[in-house]
């Protein structure tokens, strides 16, 4: 009989109660901020981390989970009698973590040469609860007796439709992470210009710019409507960094789309280290990509 583990990392932003409910293992990223080495999910709540970013001298940087760490986790699964592990790390194009997981599989063959663990390594092509929500769905279906290959296929199909619109209200982290140019960040802060950014298939793009914080939410919703034209009854989620505009976005989305979001969630440390501590995210199911 199969014994299946589900492994991800803290970029998934799955709330701890859901992780425990569905038996999902989450490995924490290391985040360096003002010389403090922070292991995500171990020391600070998301709100405490946002406050630290706002008060920090510098901006945070993240370190990929290492092959050794992954190999140790795989060895644990082997020793505990697991037959399969579904491993969904952070978006492959945004971190070396995925490649480190590939390296760990080779190390596992050296550490446990007789092992029979099937490692299903999946690239979500995205971040945060954008894949975390559907990872929970995968775990729920497995608990209810669904076939492994079926839930993996469903997950990959779903990830091929997910899109994110970001509305950052501060640009320091966006500049450092390369999401926008340094010149655009400086001019944005001086003139109150806010970029409206898509994150699709691991790639960011500035879709438009608005002047004034009050224009951000309407621009996000307008863009979402355009991107989902022809998609029947699409689902959406709202991510945020515990800023007052989060409630405004949810209210505007309920009015525009005629229904509540699947969930609202906090952007975790890894994600907010790149977007900044004052950001909204509108996540939606778009058209399937080729």
CATH number at residue 84: 3.40.50.10440
145 and 101 within one domain: yes
224 and 110 within one domain: no
pLDDT at 26: 98
Instruction: Note the pTM of the prediction, 2 decimals.
Output: 0.91
Task: State which of 138, 159, 180 marks the end of a domain.
Answer: 159
170 and 100 within one domain: no
pLDDT at 274: 86
273 and 144 within one domain: no
> Cα(55)–Cα(73) distance, rounded to whole angstroms?
35
Q: Is 209 a domain residue?
A: yes
With CA atoms as reference, report the closest residue to 285 among 213, 242, 239, 235: 235
Domains: count for the chain: 2
Q: Domain range for residue 153? A: 4-29+64-159
pLDDT at 182: 55
Q: Is 57 a domain residue?
A: no
With CA atoms as reference, report the closest residue to 119 among 7, 17, 21, 27: 7
Task: State which of 139, 159, 179 marks the end of a domain.
Answer: 159
119 and 21 within one domain: yes
- Per-residue pLDDT of 144-175, as tens digits, reads 999 999 999 999 999 999 999 999 987 766 66
- CA distances to 26, 65, 272 from 228, rounded to whole Å, are 32, 35, 25
Token pair 């509540």 in the structure block, residue = 260
Question: Tens-of-pLDDT digits for all 290 residues of the chain?
Answer: 899 999 999 999 999 999 999 999 999 999 999 999 999 999 899 999 999 999 988 889 999 999 999 999 999 999 999 999 999 999 998 889 999 999 999 999 999 999 999 999 999 999 999 999 999 999 999 999 999 999 999 999 999 999 999 999 877 666 655 555 555 555 556 577 888 999 999 888 989 999 999 999 999 999 999 999 999 889 999 999 999 999 999 999 999 999 999 999 999 999 999 888 999 999 999 998 86
pLDDT at 68: 98
Task: State which of 159, 192, 207 marks the end of a domain.
Answer: 159
129 and 193 within one domain: no
- DSSP conformation letters of 201-224: TTEEEEEEEEESGGGHHHHHHHHH
Cβ atoms of residues 154 and 86 within 8 Å: no
Q: Is 91 a domain residue?
A: yes
pLDDT at 250: 98
| CATH number, domain containing residue 202 | 3.30.1180.10
> Cα(204)–Cα(206) distance, rounded to whole angstroms?
7
Q: Is 94 a domain residue?
A: yes
Cβ atoms of residues 123 and 44 within 8 Å: no
pLDDT at 263: 97
Which pairing describes strands 193-200 and 24-27: parallel, antiparallel, or unpaired? unpaired
275 alpha carbon, distance to own chain's centre: 11
């Amino acid at each position: 009989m199969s014994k299946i583990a589900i492994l991800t990392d803290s970029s998934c932003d799955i709330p701890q109660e859901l992780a425990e409910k569905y038996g999902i293992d989450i490995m924490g990223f290391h985040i360096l901020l003002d010389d403090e080495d922070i292991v995500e999910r171990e020391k600070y709540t998301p709100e405490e981390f946002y406050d630290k970013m706002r008060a920090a001298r510098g901006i945070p940087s993240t370190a990929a989970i290492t092959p050794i760490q992954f190999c140790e986790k795989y060895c644990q699964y082997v020793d505990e009698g697991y037959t399969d592990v579904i491993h969904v790390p952070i978006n492959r194009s945004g971190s070396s973590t995925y490649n480190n997981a590939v390296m760990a599989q080779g190390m596992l063959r050296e550490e446990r040469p007789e092992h029979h663990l099937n490692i299903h390594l999946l690239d979500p092509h995205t971040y945060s609860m954008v894949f975390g929500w559907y990872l929970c769905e995968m775990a729920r279906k497995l608990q209810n007796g669904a076939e492994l290959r079926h839930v993996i296929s469903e997950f990959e199909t779903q990830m091929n439709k997910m899109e994110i619109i970001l509305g950052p209200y501060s640009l320091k982290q966006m500049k450092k992470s390369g999401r926008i140019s340094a010149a655009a960040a400086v001019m944005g802060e001086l003139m109150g210009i806010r970029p409206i950014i898509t994150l699709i298939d691991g790639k960011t793009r500035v879709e438009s710019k608005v002047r004034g914080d009050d224009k951000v939410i309407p621009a996000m919703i307008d863009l979402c409507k355009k991107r989902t034209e022809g998609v029947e009854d699409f689902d959406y989620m709202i991510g945020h960094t515990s800023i007052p505009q989060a409630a405004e976005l949810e209210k505007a989305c309920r009015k525009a789309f005629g229904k509540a979001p699947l969930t609202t969630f906090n952007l975790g440390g890894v994600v907010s280290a790149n977007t900044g501590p004052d950001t909204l995210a509108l996540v939606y199911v778009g058209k399937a990509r080729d």
